[in-house]
């Protein structure tokens, strides 16, 4: 196994480090495995990524020395005549920061970073927060130094983006929260037509419609740091998550007074401001977002969804 290191700058990042890992056997197929790390580094480690990282595997050319003069190795591992109508040749193949693709794109030089960005942009990340909060998310956001005077929903969004940035996750996030007036259906900036995945890469839904149909492919239990808050998969009150949101993404009327209350006890109708609908990290059905009504004084995580 040989590692080729390419330094590539641009696209708003000071430095992107890309390591290509591929076999030098001839004439077998070669590939590059790209992983997204928490340090915003793209890297490969012997063809495997850490379990929380997004990953893409590309068929690429590896080394011009494997073919005779006048030939190059295409992305399928075959030596072919050097095309006269391409910028690649047997000596240089592709420019720095590019790979020669195989398959239907055989012989085409493509920028590695652009390929990886396209891959990442074709899916949205969802996580459950590693931190827990009372129903007063406004105070929680203020305590984290994320600003005061925020609304409850804005505070939830700020918390999600803060934790995502701390973990090195890309993109903008919004909290899966409703406040009796607004909900994910009405306020989310993006309702994706492509898959939603956890930070370990496991798919939870094919698209937004699938996300809000009361049935998940995988339960949402992985945090922004890649750890599980519920490894046993239990579906009981211990595994609650604040949502205030129904199974179809619409708002309930119980959301800890628009996420400003940390009071107790919770009772209807006298102390409804101390109540909030919660989901469960152990549920695949509608219970993932609409499991029970719970007191606002309890400290619970929230769900965060990439936009």
* For residue 259, pLDDT beyond 90: yes
- Average confidence score pLDDT of the chain: 75
Q: Please state, for a pLDDT cut of 70, what percent of the chain lies above it.
A: 60
Instruction: Compute the average pLDDT of residues 103-116.
Output: 61
Q: What pLDDT, on the 0 to 100 scale, is given for residue 96?
A: 58
Q: Which residue has the higher pLDDT, 271 or 98?
A: 271
Q: What pLDDT, on the 0 to 100 scale, is given for residue 265?
A: 92
Burial class (CB in 10 A: 0-12, 13-18, 19+), 87: exposed
- Domain residue ranges of the chain, discontinuous segments joined by +: 2-121, 124-306
Q: What pLDDT, on the 0 to 100 scale, is given for residue 1?
A: 24
Q: What pLDDT, on the 0 to 100 scale, is given for residue 307?
A: 94
Per-residue pLDDT tens over the stretch 39-66:
233 333 344 555 555 555 554 444 344 5
Q: What pLDDT, on the 0 to 100 scale, is given for residue 61?
A: 44
Rounded distance, CA 135 to CA 259, Å?
A: 5
Rounded distance, CA 49 to CA 116, Å?
A: 14
Q: What pLDDT, on the 0 to 100 scale, is given for residue 145?
A: 96
Query: Among 25-29, 45-49, 77-81, 279-283, whose mean pLDDT is lowest?
Result: 25-29
Q: What pLDDT, on the 0 to 100 scale, is given for residue 122?
A: 75
Instruction: Compute the average pLDDT of residues 127-146.
Output: 97
CATH superfamily for domain 124-306: Mannose-Binding Protein A, subunit A (3.10.100.10)
Burial class (CB in 10 A: 0-12, 13-18, 19+), 287: buried
Q: What pLDDT, on the 0 to 100 scale, is given for residue 272?
A: 86
Mention every residue, 6+ apart, whose C-beta is less than 8 A from residue 151: 138, 179, 258, 259
Q: Which residue has the higher pLDDT, 27 or 137?
A: 137
Query: Among 61-65, 116-120, 181-185, whose mean pLDDT is lowest?
Result: 61-65
Burial class (CB in 10 A: 0-12, 13-18, 19+), 248: middle
- Return the ∠ at Cα 38 (arms to 36 and 44), rounded to 5°: 35
Rounded to the nearest 10°, the torsion over CA 191, 192, 198, 202 is 140
């Amino acid at each position: 196994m040989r590692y080729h290191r390419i330094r590539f700058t641009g696209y708003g990042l000071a430095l992107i480090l890309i390591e290509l890992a591929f076999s030098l056997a001839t004439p077998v197929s070669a590939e590059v495995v790209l992983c997204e790390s928490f340090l915003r580094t793209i890297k490969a480690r012997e063809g495997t990524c850490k379990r929380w990282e997004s990953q893409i595997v590309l068929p690429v050319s590896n080394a011009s020395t494997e073919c005779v003069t006048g030939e190059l190795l295409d992305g399928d591992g075959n030596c072919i005549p050097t095309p006269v109508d391409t910028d690649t040749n047997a000596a240089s193949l592709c420019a720095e920061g590019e790979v020669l693709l195989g398959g239907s794109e055989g012989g085409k030089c493509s920028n590695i970073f652009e390929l990886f960005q396209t891959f990442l942009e074709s899916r949205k990340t969802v996580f459950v927060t590693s931190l827990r909060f009372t129903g007063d998310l406004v105070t929680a956001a203020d305590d984290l130094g994320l600003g005061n005077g925020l609304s409850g929903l804005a505070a939830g969004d700020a918390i999600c983006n803060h934790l995502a940035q701390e973990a090195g996750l890309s993109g903008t996030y919004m909290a899966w929260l409703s406040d009796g007036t607004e909900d994910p259906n009405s306020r989310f900036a993006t309702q994706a037509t492509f898959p939603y995945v956890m930070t370990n890469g496991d798919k939870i839904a094919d698209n937004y419609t699938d996300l809000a149909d009361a049935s998940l492919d995988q339960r949402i239990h992985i945090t922004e740091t890649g750890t599980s808050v519920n490894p046993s998969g239990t579906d009981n009150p211990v595994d609650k998550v604040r949502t205030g949101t129904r199974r179809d993404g619409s708002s309930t009327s119980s959301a800890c007074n628009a996420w400003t209350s940390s009071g107790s006890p919770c009772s209807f109708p006298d102390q409804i401001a101390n109540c909030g609908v919660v989901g469960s990290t152990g549920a695949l059905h509608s219970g993932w977002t609409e499991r029970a009504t719970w007191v606002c004084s309890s400290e619970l995580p929230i769900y965060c969804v990439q936009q």
